[in-house]
Structure 1
Amino acid sequence: MIDSEKRLFMFEKVAEHLDSGIHVIDSQGKTIIYNQKMMEIENMEIDDVLDKNLLDVFQFNTEEDSTLLQVIKTKVPTLNVKQTYFNNRGNEITTLNNTFPIFHGDQLLGAIEIAKDITKLEKVIRDNLHKRNNNLYTFDSILGSNSLLMEAVETAKRATRTVSPVLISGEIGTGKELFAQSIHNGSSRSSQPFISQNCAALPDELIESMLFGTKKSTFTESVEHPSLFDQAEGGTLLLDEISSLNMSLQAKLLQVLQEQSVQKSSNTTDKDSGVRIIATINEDPIDAIANGRLRKDLYYRLSVVSIFLPPLRERKQDIEELTRFFIDQFNHLFAMNIKGITSEVKEMFDNYDWPGNVRELEHVLEASFNLMEFEELIDFNHLPIQFRQKSDGGDTQGTDSDREGTDFLFQGGADIKPLEIFMEEAETYYIQKALRHHDFNITKTAKALSMSRQNLQYRIRKYGIERNKF
C-alpha cells in the first residue's frame, strides 16, 4: 500500500510531464502543487508561488476573476473559461482554464486548475482588431514618379474594381502593405474590415488557428476563436510573407480560395467567405516556387492580379521627394524645423543602394533627427553611424594586379557592386539580348531561355524591360 506522501510525490512527477499547466490550491487559497508547464506559462519560479496565497502573488481585476478562487467559493467546476491576469512582474497572461473543486467526502480540500496558454493568440487578435480601425493608407500616400512604380499604381487602381486575389511582390521595405491598404480603401469594401497577418510572425500551430479558427471543445480544452476570414468578412484579408507558410497550410489555404469557404480546424461546418485576399511575398515568386517555398498552384490562384514593386535603388529619382516627405513628418512629430539635407548627404543618398528600401530611408532620417539640436540641415555627422560606415566607399584604387582580368566589374574607379545587383543587371542584359534576337517574341524567347512564358513575362515586368528601350 502506497502511503499518501509517496502518492503525492508520484502525482507531482506526473504533473511535471503534462503539456498543460497544473495549479492546485488549498481551501484557503494557498498553492500546494505548481507544475513546470505552469511556471513556463506564467514566467514564474516555483519558490515565487509554492506555499503562498494566490492573491499575494498574482494580480486580478477582482477576486472573482480568479477561476481557482471562484471554484473554492462556489464549489462548482468551470470549463473553458478564459482568464487574463498579471504575474508578480506585471506581465499580462491569458489562459484557458478547466477548474475543479477537490473534495474528501463532504469536505472541500481545495481546487485544481488545468490551463492552456493563449497569451500570444489573444495579443494577435487584439492587434488585428486595432489594425481594422487604423487603415490610413490610400493611393495618395504613394510617393514617386518612377515609371515602374506608376505602372504598379495603375495596376493596383484597376484592381479596386474587382474582388480577384492580388499578389504583391517586392523586397522588404518597398511598401507592399501600403499598396494593399490602398487597394482596400479604394474599393467598395473600404467601409469593411481590413485584417493584416504576417505569416512569418507565428509558429505553424498558432498561425493555423489564426487563419482557420478554432471551435470551443471541452475534450481538447480549446476556446472558440473566429478565423481571420471571419474577422475580415466583407472586407480584405492581407496575408504578408505568404511563402513562409508550410506546404500543408498552403494546401489548406488553396482549398479555401478555390471553394470560397472556410473549414474550421475542428472539421465542423463550412462557412461562405466573402473576403478578398491580398498576399505579399518579398522575393521573386518564381524563385520561391523553384526552391520549394511556394506551391505553384497557390501562386497561380493568388496572382490573378500581380503587382511588382521596384526597389528604391531602381527609382532613385524619387529619393528627393521621399526625403522631403519624411522630414516634414518628423518635423511635426518631434516639433522641430529641419529644412532639408546638405548637398553631401544628398550625394550619399543618390549613390547608396538602399537594401532596406524606403523603410531604411525613413529610419535613417528619423535617426538623424535624434542627433540634431538647432541645425537646419541634416549633414554627414547627423547620419547614424552604421549608415555612414555602409556608405563609406573607402580606398577603391587598388593595384594593377588587383584589377587584372576584372575590369568588367569596375566603371571609372567605382567599387565592386554587390553580387545581387550585379546578377540582376546581368540577367536584365541577357534577357534584353534574347528578346532582341527573337524580335521580342515572348514564346520563342522563353523557349530559348528554357523558361515558361509566365516566368519571362514576370521578369520583363520586374526589370522594366520595354521594347522601345533597345
Structure 2
Amino acid sequence: MKSSVNQFSTQFEWILNVINVGVHIVNKDGDTVFYNKMMAHIDGLDREQVLGENIFQLYPSLTDESSTLHVALEKGIETIESIQTYVNLKEKKITSINSTYPLYEDGEIIGAVEIAKDITKVMSMYDQIVDLRSQLAETHKKNKFFEGTATYHFSDLIGSSPAFQEAISLAKKAARTHSPVMIYGPTGTGKELIAQSIHNVSAQRNQPFIAQNCAAVPKELMEGLLFGTTKGAFTGAMDRLGIFEQANGGTLFLDELNSLDLGLQAKLLRVLQEGEVRRVGGSKEQKINVKIIAAMNISPDEALERGIIRSDLFFRLNVVTIQMPSLLERKMDIPEIVNHFIQKFNKSFFSDVRGISQKAMQRLLQYSWPGNIRELGHAIELAFNVMDTGEVMIEEHHLPAYLFPSGKYSVSNAQSHHPPLKDKIDLPVVLEEMEREMIINMFEKYNGNISKTAEALNIKRQGLQYKLTKYGIEKVYAAGSKEPK
C-alpha cells in the first residue's frame, strides 16, 4: 500500500510540473517544499535556489499583509484570483493572478499552496494602454479644438442592400439622442464602424470616443480598466482613470459585451443606472456623462438563452437595437465593396489594379463569407500580394485557395498551380492566409470541436480560440455540430 502511495505521489508531482500554471507550496513556517517548473518560469528563478527558502527571502517586496501565502498560513484565509505584483530576487517585477489556499491536517494548518497565472506582459500592455488613454484625455481637456478620436463616418460605409441601409438609417436616428445603443451581428460586419459613425454625427462628436473589447482583457483587470483604480486597491495598483472617466462627455463603445464577466455586468448596470462610477479600492463616487454603445457578435436572444448576459443589463442597454447583416445577406454589395478595397490597396501597394475579372467576381459571389467584410478585405489584400508586376486585373488564380470547393486551383482557373509572385510581397499577409486556410480545413474535419482542432494543430485551445476570432472563422464550419466545444 505504501509503495502505491509513493507511486501516485511521483505521478502527482509529474502532473504539477507539466500543467501551465505555477504551483508554489510552503510548509507552516513559510518555507518552500514544492515549486513547479511553470512557477520557476514565471518568477525567473531556478527551482534549486527556491526549495527550502522562505517566501520573504524569495520575494523581499512582499509584506505580511500583501503576501497571500502568509495570510493563508496565519489566518487560514483563502484568496481567489487576486492580482499580485511583486519583485523577485533578481529584482524583476512580476504580476500574476493568484489563488491561495491553506492546507490542513487534523484541523491544523500545515502549509499553503498558491496557484499562479502569469500576466506580467498583459499588465504591462494594460498599463501602457491606460497611460496612453489618460494622456489623450488630458490633451482633450487642454485643447478645446480637439476633434475627437473616432475616424469613421457614415459616408465611409459602403452598401445599398435594403438590410444594410436599414441598419444605417436606424444608426443615424440613434445618433440624435443620448440613449444607449445595442449593435449585434457576426464578426467582421462593421459594428465598430457603425459605432464611430454614430459618435461622429452626435452632439458628443468633439468629445472622446473610447472603444474597448470586453474579450481582450482578463476579467481580473477589466474592473480596473472600466472604473479606474485607487492606489493600494491591490498590490501594485496606482491612481488611474478608468475608461468611463476617460470617455466622460463622449462615447464609450463596449465591444463583445457578451464576454464580460457576469459580476462586472452587475457593476456596469449600477454605473449606468446611477450615472456615477467608483474606482476600485476608492470610496468616492464620480459623476459621469457617457453615451454607451454596446456590441455583441451573437443575437440578443442567444446571449440571454445561454445566460452570458444579464437580462437587466441587456434591457437597460437595449433602447435602440441595430442588427448588422452578414455579407451572405447582402451579397449585392460585394462588387461595390471589392471596388473600395481595390482603391484602398492601390494606394498602400502603389499599384494600378483597375478591376476584377467576371470569373473572379463570380467566385467571390459564390462564397459564404463567414468572416464577412473583414474576410473579404483579406482576400483582396492577398490577391494584391500574389499579382505579378504589370497585372491590372484580379483573376481567379489570385484569390485564396479556400474559396474553391476542392481547396485547390484547377488548371482552368489558373495558368499554373502556383500563381506568379511579385518581386516583393507582404509575407506576413500571405502566411496569415495560409494559416487561416489550414485552421478552416482542420476545423471542418473535426466538426467544429475546438479541443480536437487545437490538438491536431499542436496549439493551445486558447490560442486557437484567438485565431478563430481573428480570422472570422465561425461555427458555420462545424458541420453536424450545434456548437463548437
Which category describes the TM-score, using the shorter chain as reference length? 0.5 to 0.7
Distance 1:148 1:350 in 2: 17
2:314 maps to 1:299: yes
Tell me the SS of whatever aligns to 2:404: helix
Distance 1:207 1:276 in 2: 19
Tell me the SS of whatever aligns to 2:362: helix
Distance 2:33 2:230 in 1: 29
Distance 2:292 2:266 in 1: 15
**What amino acid is aligned across from residue 262 of structure 1 in structure 2?**
V
Q: 1:393 to 1:164 in 2, by over 3 A?
A: farther
| Shift, 1:36, TM fit | 7.5
Q: Which residue is 2:393 aligned to?
A: 377
TM-score (norm 1): 0.61
1:13 to 32, 38, 49: 32
| Shift, 1:155, TM fit | 1.2
Q: Which residue is 2:254 aligned to?
A: 239
TM-score (norm 2): 0.59
2:209 maps to 1:209: no
Q: Once the two structures are superposed, what CA deviation does each residue of 1:141-182 show, in whole Å capped at 9, x if it has no partner?
A: 100111111111111111222111110011100000000011
Residue pairs, 1:48-127, within 5 angstroms: 116=95, 119-124=121-126, 126-127=128-129
Q: Which residue is 1:386 aligned to?
A: 402
Tell me the SS of whatever aligns to 1:225: coil
Q: 1:135 to 1:12 in 2, by over 3 A?
A: farther
Is the 8 Å Cα contact of residues 230 and 282 (structure 2) preserved in structure 1? no
Tell me the SS of whatever aligns to 1:315: helix
| Shift, 1:121, TM fit | 3.5
Distance 1:240 1:211 in 2: 13
2:281 maps to 1:262: no
Q: Once the two structures are superposed, what CA deviation does each residue of 1:224-282 show, in whole Å capped at 9, x if it has no partner?
A: 22211011111111110001112211111111111111122225111111111110001
1:40 to 34, 39, 42: 42
Distance 1:244 1:218 in 2: 24
Is the 8 Å Cα contact of residues 96 and 223 (structure 1) preserved in structure 2? no
Q: 1:215 to 1:334 in 2, by over 3 A?
A: same
| Shift, 1:126, TM fit | 3.8
**What amino acid is aligned across from residue 40 of structure 1 in structure 2?**
I
Tell me the SS of whatever aligns to 1:216: coil
2:319 maps to 1:317: no
Q: Structure 2: where are the runs of 5+ without partners? A: 1-28, 51-59, 67-83, 97-119, 138-147, 411-443, 445-485
Q: Structure 1: where are the runs of 5+ without partners? A: 1-9, 18-34, 51-67, 72-76, 81-94, 100-109, 395-417, 419-470
Tell me the SS of whatever aligns to 2:244: helix
Residue pairs, 1:340-359, within 5 angstroms: 340-359=355-374
| Shift, 1:46, TM fit | 3.8
Q: Which residue is 1:405 aligned to?
A: none
Residue pairs, 1:329-348, within 5 angstroms: 329-348=344-363
Q: Which residue is 1:223 aligned to?
A: 238
Distance 2:288 2:94 in 1: 32
Distance 1:123 1:263 in 2: 23
Is the 8 Å Cα contact of residues 156 and 307 (structure 1) preserved in structure 2? yes
Tell me the SS of whatever aligns to 1:345: helix
1:139 to 142, 145, 154: 154
Report percent identity of matched pairs: 39
Please say which structure displays the higher CA radius of gyration: 1
2:198 to 161, 183, 203: 183
Distance 1:293 1:222 in 2: 29
Is the 8 Å Cα contact of residues 170 and 176 (structure 1) preserved in structure 2? yes
